Structures are given as structure tokens and as C-alpha cells.
């Protein structure tokens, strides 16, 4: 099947460097310390944060920093075909949970909360490509909503490469093309890559092009996230009669 038409349009009508529609909502669950939903195209992810709170097990806790735990779950109806097996506990979900955890661990200023524990909960409602990137973005929003200080804003995006074109933010159909796939999670202000995962054989020049596109994509997502957080704070401030510059 063709992924990029001769005019340069992708199957869903986007241009190669175009992100899907971004939507997010901060503070959706009152019972959690911080929560957020993040939608990119059809991919919908909910993230919640509980903490910092006293660590559950003293053996795991650390005397100079907080530990970050992440529980990840994909609902049965997330993918196109209903999944029979559990959405947690297998190797793939364990790896995804671990990646989100490490990304946020590097972003949160964990040294400020010794002996504490921060619990991240990620629920994937719909999966349509770039799921891990969406999870990281949602988690960042939830952590910001919880008021936990962070080193920088982290934004993630994926880039694929099909028919000699780097494609930003690939969806599920484009993933079936089995081209190389690059996931980049970037600290947007400091310009540092926290998570880089590339899968599929690709020559170095092409990879350079993909990495550049991914950087631009991350910055765009970062801008959107920042805007959403500011709007959220503005709303809260208005409700409480405060002024925010």
C-alpha cells in the first residue's frame, strides 16, 4: 500500500511534517494529586499522579531521592481488534511502563523528596500509533498538575521513514509499513534528549534527518503543552479571584 502520494500527502491527508491534532485536559480527576488526558489524533491516554507520599516499602525507598513507580495499562478496547490477553504484566507493557518511569524520573527533581514515592498511573484508552510518546506527554502534564517540581518540560514524539520520506507522528497504519521508527523524548528548553529509541535498520544520514524532524516535533508538542498548562492555571486563578501575569 502507498503511504505517501506523489503530491506528498499521507494516507490521512497530512503532510510529512505535520502532527496530528493535539488535545489535552489537565486536572480531570479530583481524587488524584495530579491528572491529565492527552489526545493526539485517535490516540487517547490518561495519566494520574499520586504523591509524593511515604514510600510503601522501606527497602525500595532511597534516603536521598524519591522513587518513581509507574503502572501502565492498555484497555481491552484500545486497539482495533479486541485484545484477549491482559493489558499489563507482559513483557511489552513492562518495558513501556519502565520507559515512562525513567523518562519522568529524569525530569522530576527527585532529590527534593527523599524517602518518598511518586506513583504514576497510565491508562491507554485508544491506541493509534505514537502511544509511548503520548504517555510521556500525559505523564508530564499530570506531574505538573500535581505541583511536583520538574527540571524541564519533557515532550515526546515519533518519526517514521517510509517511501524515502521522514514522517512525523506516525499512526497505526503507518506503523504497519515496517519502516524504521524513532521515538524521541526531549527536554525542550535545555535541548537534551532523554529517551531515544530507534528500531529498524536505517542509514546514518537518514537517521540524522529523522532526528532533526523529531526535535522540531518535540518542540512543537512542548509549546502546545506549555500553552495548555498556562490556560489551566489561568482558569484556576480566575476562579479564585487571583491575577496571573
Partner 1 sequence: MIGSDEKDFIRGGFKADIRSDGRACNDSRPLSLSLGDLQPCSGSARCTLGSTDVIVGVKAELGAPLPDSPDCGGLHITVECSPCAGPTSQGRAGEALSFELAKCLERALNAHPSGRGSALDLRALSIVSGRTCWVLCIDALVLACDGSLLDALSIAVRAALQNTRIPLVEVGATEDPDEEPELELDDDPANAKQVDVSRVPIIVTVCQMDDAFVVDPTAREEEAAEQACHIAVMPTGNVCGMFRGSGAAVTPFALQEMMSLAQKRGPLLLQAVGKSIASAAMSMET
Partner 2 sequence: MHISQNDRLFILKALKEDIRIDGRNPFDSRKVTVTLGLHNASATVSMGSTRVTTTIVPVLDAPFPDRPNEGTLRFNAEYSPMASSEFEGGRHSEAGMEMIRLLEQVLRNSRAVDREALCVLAGQKVWHLDVNVTVLDHAGNLTDACLLSAVAALMVFRRPEVEINTSNSGSGVARTLVLSPAVREPLPLSLHQLPLSTTFALFGAGESIVIDPTSREEAAASGVVTIIVNTNSDICAIRKASGVGIPLAQVQRLMHLASNRASEMMQDLKEVLQQHEASRVSSRVRRHASAPQQLGATSRSVNMLPPNDISATVQPYQLQEQDSGSGEETSSGEDDMSVGNPVRMIASSAEGVPISSHAQEAQYQEAALQHILTGGRSQRKAAPVDRPVASKKTAIGLQKEPQIDLDFLEGDTDPEKDVLDMRKALQTKNKQWQA
Q: Is 200 in the site for partner 1 (CB under 8 A)?
A: no
Question: Is residue 62 within the footprint of partner 2 (CB under 8 A)?
Answer: no
Q: Answer with the entry of partner 2, partner 1, none that 42 interacts with (C-beta below 5 to 8 A by kind).
A: partner 1
Q: Which does 71 bind (CB under 5 to 8 A by kind): partner 2, partner 1, none?
A: partner 1
Residue 228 binding partner 1, by CB under 8 A: no
Contact partner at residue 202 from partner 1, partner 2, none, CB < 5 to 8 Å by partner kind: partner 2
Cell matching residue 208: 540524522
Quick one: which of 33, 74, 105, 174 contacts partner 2 (CB under 8 A)?
105
Based on the shown chain and the rule CB under 8 A, indicate whether residue 29 belongs to the binding site for partner 1: yes
Cβ(160)–Cβ(166) below 8 Å: yes
Instruction: Give the list of residues 6+ apart from residue 73 with CB closer than 8 angstroms, or none.
Output: 87, 88, 93, 122, 123, 124
Query: With CB under 8 A as the contact rule, which of the stretches 109-117, 158-166, 184-192, 227-235 interacts with partner 2?
Result: 184-192
Per-residue string for binding with partner 1, 102-121, x by CB under 8 A?
Answer: -----------------x-x
43 binds partner 1 (CB under 8 A): no
Least separation in angstroms between CB 188 and partner 2: 11
Sign of the Cα pseudo-torsion (188, 193, 199, 205, in order): positive
Residue 57 lies near partner 2 (rule: CB under 8 A): no
3-state secondary structure of 89: coil
Dihedral angle at the C-alpha atoms of 123, 128, 131, 134, nearest 10 degrees?
A: -80
- Residues 6 or more apart whose CB falls under 8 angstroms from that of 2 comprise 11, 163
Candidates 12, 56, 111, 191: give the one binding partner 2 (CB under 8 A).
191
Residues forming a β-bridge with 40? 22, 43
Q: How far is CA 132 from CA 137, 157, 216, in A?
A: 9, 9, 18
Strands (E), 3-108: 22-26, 34-40, 43-54, 67-74
Interface map 133-172 toward partner 2 (x if CB under 8 A): ----------------------------------------
155 CB neighbour count, 10 Å cutoff: 24
For residues 36 and 24, is the Cβ–Cβ distance under 8 A? Answer: yes
Residue 114 CB neighbour total at 10 angstroms: 14
Site of interaction with partner 2 (CB under 8 A): 91-92, 94-95, 98-99, 102, 105-106, 182, 186-187, 190-204, 207-208, 211-212, 215
Site of interaction with partner 1 (CB under 8 A): 29-32, 35, 42, 44, 46-48, 50, 56, 69, 71-73, 75-80, 82, 87, 119, 121-123, 125-126
Amino acid at each position: 500500500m502507498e503511504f505517501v502520494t506523489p503530491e506528498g500527502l499521507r494516507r490521512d491527508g497530512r503532510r510529512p511534517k505535520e502532527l496530528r491534532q493535539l488535545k489535552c485536559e489537565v486536572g480531570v480527576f479530583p481524587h488524584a494529586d495530579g491528572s491529565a488526558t492527552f489526545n493526539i489524533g485517535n490516540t487517547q491516554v490518561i495519566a494520574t499522579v499520586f504523591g509524593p507520599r511515604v514510600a510503601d516499602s522501606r527497602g525500595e525507598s532511597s534516603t536521598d531521592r524519591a522513587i518513581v513507580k509507574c503502572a501502565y495499562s492498555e484497555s481491552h478496547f484500545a486497539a482495533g481488534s479486541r485484545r484477549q490477553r491482559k493489558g499489563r504484566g507482559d513483557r511489552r507493557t513492562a518495558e513501556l511502563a519502565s520507559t515512562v518511569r525513567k523518562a519522568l524520573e529524569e525530569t522530576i527533581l527527585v532529590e527534593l523528596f527523599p524517602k518518598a514515592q511518586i506513583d504514576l498511573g497510565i491508562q491507554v484508552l485508544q491506541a493509534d500509533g505514537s502511544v509511548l510518546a503520548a504517555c510521556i506527554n500525559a505523564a508530564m502534564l499530570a506531574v505538573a498538575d500535581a505541583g511536583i517540581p520538574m527540571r524541564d518540560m519533557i515532550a515526546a514524539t515519533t518519526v517514521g521513514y517510509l517511501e524515502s520520506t521522514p514522517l512525523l507522528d506516525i499512526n497505526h497504519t503507518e506503523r504497519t509499513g515496517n519502516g524504521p521508527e524513532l521515538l524521541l523524548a526531549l527536554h525542550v528548553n535545555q535541548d537534551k534528549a532523554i529517551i531515544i529509541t530507534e528500531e529498524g535498520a536505517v542509514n546514518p544520514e537518514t537517521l540524522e534527518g529523522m532526528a532533526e524532524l523529531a526535535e522540531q516535533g518535540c518542540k512543537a508538542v512542548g509549546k502546545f503543552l506549555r500553552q495548555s498548562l498556562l490556560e489551566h492555571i489561568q482558569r484556576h486563578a480566575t476562579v479564585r479571584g487571583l491575577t496571573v501575569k
